Structure 1
Amino acid sequence: MTSKQQKVALVTGGGSGIGQSICLRLALKGIKVIVVDLDLDAAKETSKKIYAQHGVADVYQLDISNHQSVKQVFGTIIAQHNIDILVNNAGIAHIGNIENTKEADLDRLYNVNVKGVYNCISASIEAMKTQKSGVIINMASIASSVGITDRFAYSMSKGAVLTMTYSVARDYIDHGIRCNCISPGRVHTPFVDNFLDNNYPHNRDEMFEKLSKSQPIGRMAQPEEIAALVDYLCSDEASFITGSNYPIDGGFVTINN
């Protein structure tokens, strides 16, 4: 297949964790994956894993908070491929309430988690309109729907992702573009392991168990489980789904609240 015939998915934050799992899952479906990450080495590692499973990938280093850089990189990609699927997965976290959230923290979360999603959608939406098709998946969070202790800035940013999803779904439904978001609970990624290593070196196992059991189902999600939901929402089987938020949280939102 030529690049214009093969379905193409662009995944931000594809170098590790949930993003890497999404890339590997989509590649197994014969989709060419554009792995985008701030960490070029991590993106290359994902690409190696894709090729090891006989998939196809390209790699781009990109700071999604930089509007001009996003326009330039997306322009290069669009010149070669249709972007059939855009997965806005890249994001950063912050722990703190409003009293210990500095202005710089708020700006940092906004620039990546909110402006980054805006940058990527705005850089690809015209091409999707032209091809009269496209699927956009935004990674929100349970923090976009319910109050979580010490997640002021993070909740702000993910709440914006949720409502951007609704707006894009409404505005572009007549152009054949579907837009949905996924709201994970706690997922066992390298981020969680690093957080525990840095903050709870002496009682790491105890804290891991406590965090796991904060989900009613009694464990954290695996990145592959999030990727499976992305896979479904990108598929033709989900062609009737747009403007929806999908919690995948072990019952956290409905059972805990």
Structure 2
Amino acid sequence: DPRTYDQWGLGYSGTGYKGQGKTQPRTAAVYDNPYAWDARAAYVIGTRHRDDYRLFVSRDLVPDLEALAEQILRRRDDRGSSLRFATAGELQVRQDQLATAARATLRAALGKSREVRAAKAAREREQQRQQAAVEKTLSRHRAALTQSAQDRKKLAAAWRGGAEDTTALARLVTSGWEAARAIAGNPALLAALREEDPDQASEVEAFARQDRDQLIAAAQRRMPQRSAPPPTPAPEPDPEPPTPRMRR
């Protein structure tokens, strides 16, 4: 009764890989799953016989021999055979190699990270050094401009228009003009001044573009014009004392 005896199976049968390493006089195989057969499986199953080997294929799975060959000869990336798996010793060696490679990769990454951090720190130090140099140079030139303006005010208060005053005025104007040109001609100095005091930066640029001789002439015209003081009269001579008379 098939309803009672419904667990039928093939006698003396097993999977292809279960039979690997064995040799039988005659073997037969059933092509039951196209997805389970590939080049490795076909090689193992098709080499278990000594005299005769038969492969039974359902036409519902494979229409012809060309399709069967195409399905069997395909390669898979999975490990279909136990011969392809490593032993415990081989696995330990492989794991040691992977660990060594991982340590080497980690050391290289740490070394690269240290190099990157060191290079970044060096760039930051260099930027700080350059910034400090810019601030120091800008402070010196601004001090020269301020000192030139203050000295010109002092000179104006005592201006007499003589050659000595004219020479001193030319020297003070030249000093301020050179400081302005030094700032305007250096992009880093000018950018720092613009960030700190935009109005002064504009004045410095305008002052640096002018001609020095014209600046000196304009400064002389702005000096106060004072009349020369009247000459001091010469002191009158003391009167001569009277001559004493001689007595007889």
- Please confirm whether the aligned pair reaches a TM-score higher than 0.5, indicating the same fold: no
Short-chain TM bin:
under 0.3
Bigger Cα Rg? 2
Q: TM-score scaled to structure 1, two decimals?
A: 0.21
Q: Which has the higher contact order (CA 8 A, sep 6+)?
A: 1
Q: TM-score scaled to structure 2, two decimals?
A: 0.22
Normalized per residue, which structure has more helix?
Answer: 2
